[in-house]
Amino acid sequence: MRSYLMIILCAVFFAACEDIYHPELEEMEELLVIEARLVYGQSTNQVKIYKTIGFNEMTKSYPPVSGADVTLVDDKGITVKLKETEKGNYLLSQPLQPAKKYKLHISAEKEIYVSAFEEVPPVPSPGSVYMEAEEKLAPASTDESASQLRLVKGAQLYADVEGQGNARYFRFTGRKVCQYTYNVEVRGGASPPIPFYAWYSATPAESFNIAAPPDYSVTGKIRKHPLVFLERSVNVYISEAPTVFAGWIFICNQYAISEQTYRFYSDLKKQLSASGKIFDPLYTQAKGNITCTTDPEKTVLGHFEIASVREYRFYMEPVGTDKYHFHQIPWFWEIPSAGKVQDLPPVWWEYMGKEYPAGMGKLDEK
């Protein structure tokens, strides 16, 4: 009985001493963010301006900065004012001119922000894209074994790029379109099954896929730059019926960028890929090319970028047990991010031996 009472008294004592600790976190200043990626050849471009939020903020949306005066200035001093179409979004409705230099001038919240000049680079010259059969380590597909790695067979796409003039630095983005088919049985079995052609999209996992010639290179040639890994087989689970994988379409955008823009993305990539090891880069702010002229000590986040772009499309389909069919797609149909159609495939649906409209030439198969 005495021991029992001692346990109760101890429990009451420790409960009375319990106190919830609320650490005092330093309130960080809201910083201005300027997101300005302009692409030559587009009829319109957009600049976004917003504020950062604190780590413990409940909201996940960034506060837009409205009412700013945003102007594009060329190397001759000619200015074009951007129009605010919605809060924090500023529209440039005038196309960029080739080989010109531009800078961004922004007046916001009683401060003036000015970027460095960026030159409009030439459109990247057509590169050579090819595939090699490879195996990659990837996370297991089930929730129970998500931390485990498995060996995945597939096709790795590489690019050889000929840098020329001031188009020697590149950024790549892409979209993978997975095609699959299935048949839905008709009730009663009086009619044949209804075929469906379906697809979904995915983006490569890498945050910044950038490329540059080797240091001290004279020719500017970039060899065997990895673009994307396309899995040999994909299992798509739907409630209607079993599915059959029907190959990948890969839409690749190659942007020519300036050297200073390349360095900015390179710093960001190093920060994001750091894992806390001893020789990893220190966590520092990636410095963009925009400064506050009215208060040089003021921190502003973001970068002013002008790029030109070339688009490529490719199709990959597994053949047999260990081979692949691969060809370039000469047409640029609009492909929704996901969907399905009944009876007949959409006009952009890819397959081995597809013939394209006259005047586009034959397939470049490999």
Domains of the chain and any CATH numbers = 32-120 (2.60.40), 128-259+308-365 (no CATH)
Report the amino acid identity of residue 118: E
* HSE toward the beta carbon, residue 115, CA cutoff 13 A: 31
Tell me what percent of the residues of the chain surpass a pLDDT of 70: 82
Rounded Cα gap, residues 206 and 130, in angstroms = 19
pLDDT at res. 273: 66
**Looking at residues 344-351, what average pLDDT do you find?**
96
**Looking at residues 334-358, what average pLDDT do you find?**
94
Burial 36-56 (b: 16+ CB within 10 A, else e): bbbbbeeeebebbbbbbbeee
Residue 17 sits at the vertex; the CA angle it makes with 16 and 22, to the nearest 5 degrees, is 120
Residue 329 near residue 175, CB atoms below 8 Å: no
Place of tokens 């970068």: 303
pLDDT at 28 over 80: no
pLDDT digits (tens, 9 = 90+) for 6-26: 544 454 444 455 555 555 555
Residue 45 near residue 66, CB atoms below 8 Å: no
Q: How many CB atoms lie within 10 A of CB 106?
A: 26
Residue 170 sits at the vertex; the CA angle it makes with 167 and 173, to the nearest 5 degrees, is 140
Confidence of residue 58 (pLDDT cuts 50, 70, 90): low
Q: What is the pTM of this model?
A: 0.83
pLDDT at res. 17: 52
pLDDT at 315 over 50: yes
- Where are the alpha helices (H) located in 189-313, listed in sequence order? 259-273
Residue 108 near residue 36, CB atoms below 8 Å: no
